[in-house]
């Protein structure tokens, strides 16, 4: 009886070339050599159709964001434009450090910090004008708020309720948000606990002049600033926390709502350009 092993039988094994290292005399699955040992080896070519690429045989990957090995940029834990160990700008991100979901100031995720050429007064005026949100805020369809609220918010600490309607894809819902404005310093909005759309929705805008280091030392103060203390450019910090009550909404939004912080702050930047004209930090 003749027994077949199911393995290909070579008339001359020395002529068989390994797809892994490019050397002759063995198959790639039995190869003990490093990938790419010879030009044209397995690691230098795309995988054949229907065959997964054995990443263990590939050269180490390098993160273009921090310059570190063995991880991709999307998995990088370094602050934008820095390395994990050295904390110095490197790579393409060094010229684009302000456009990540990671705050370049405190190196924590969950909020964005940007340097803007406008003054604290100008930026605060745009954010505190809740009635104008439907004109430029992503997904904001309508806004109802006391007409005198904005005028009061420009003079003193103001707490007011606003009814906002948001829509994306085929969904449109309304909710009530309590807005707390501290003139030229911060605007905080929190959705009412009775809102059916969100379990949690909270946004916080903070404005700090970068013209003087003294503005940072009082960042936790609740006192408003006088017009004499205001100057540009300004560091703008935006925090966003949200959780949809409806699992359907959460599922639909999960694919793109991770970019909502970027979209929000970009919308306000564009609004400032429209209201005050283009400016530069220089």
CATH number of domain containing 187: 3.30.530.20
| pLDDT at residue number 193 | 76
Whether residue 241 lies inside any domain: the answer is yes
Q: What residue numbers bound the domain in which 258 lies?
A: 119-211+231-276
CB 69, CB 62: distance < 8 Å:
yes
Whether residue 154 lies inside any domain: the answer is yes
Whether residue 137 lies inside any domain: the answer is yes
Distances (CA, A) of 251 to 88, 212, 244, 247, 255: 38, 44, 9, 6, 8
Whether residue 63 lies inside any domain: the answer is no
Q: Which helix (H) or strand (E) is 234 found in, with range? A: strand 234-244
Whether residue 217 lies inside any domain: the answer is no
DSSP designation for 97: T
pLDDT above 50: residue 175: yes
| pLDDT at residue number 282 | 60
Whether residue 174 lies inside any domain: the answer is yes
pLDDT above 70: residue 206: yes
Distances (CA, A) of 188 to 19, 127, 185, 210: 60, 10, 10, 21
Whether residue 202 lies inside any domain: the answer is yes
Q: What is the pTM of this model?
A: 0.57
Side-chain-side CA neighbours of 18 within 13 Å: the count stands at 21
pLDDT above 60: residue 78: no
The answer to which of 49-58, 121-130, 145-154 has the lowest mean pLDDT is 49-58
The number of folded domains in the chain is: 1
**Strand locations in 88-195 (E):** 111-116, 140-144, 158-168, 171-182, 186-191
Whether residue 131 lies inside any domain: the answer is yes
Residues 219, 105: Cα–Cα separation, whole Å: 13
The answer to which of 5-19, 172-186, 227-241 has the lowest mean pLDDT is 5-19
């Amino acid at each position: 009886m003749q027994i077949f092993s199911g393995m290909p039988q070579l008339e001359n094994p020395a002529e068989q070339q390994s797809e892994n290292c490019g050397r002759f005399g063995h198959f790639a699955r039995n190869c003990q050599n490093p990938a790419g040992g010879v030009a044209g080896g397995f690691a230098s070519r795309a995988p054949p159709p229907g065959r997964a690429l054995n990443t263990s045989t590939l050269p180490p990957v390098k993160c273009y964001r921090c310059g570190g090995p063995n991880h991709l940029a999307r998995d990088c834990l370094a602050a934008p434009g820095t390395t994990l160990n050295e904390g110095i700008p490197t790579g393409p991100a060094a010229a684009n450090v302000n456009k990540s979901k990671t705050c370049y100031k405190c190196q924590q995720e969950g909020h964005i910090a940007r340097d803007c050429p406008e003054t604290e007064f100008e930026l605060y005026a745009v954010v505190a004008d809740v009635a104008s949100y439907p004109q430029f805020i992503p997904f904001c369809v309508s806004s109802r708020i006391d007409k005198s609220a904005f005028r009061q918010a420009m003079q003193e600490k103001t707490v007011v309720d606003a009814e906002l309607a948001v829509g994306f894809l085929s969904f449109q819902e309304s909710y009530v948000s309590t807005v707390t404005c501290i003139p030229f310093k911060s605007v905080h909005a929190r959705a009412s606990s009775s809102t059916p759309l969100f379990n949690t929705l909270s946004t916080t805008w903070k404005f700090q002049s970068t013209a003087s280091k003294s503005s940072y030392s009082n960042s936790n103060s609740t006192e408003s600033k006088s017009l004499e203390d205001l100057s540009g450019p300004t560091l703008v910090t935006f925090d966003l926390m949200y959780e949809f009550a409806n699992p359907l909404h959460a599922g639909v939004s999960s694919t793109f709502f991770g970019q909502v912080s970027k979209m929000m702050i970009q919308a306000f930047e564009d609004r400032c350009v429209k209201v005050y004209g283009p400016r530069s930090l220089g």
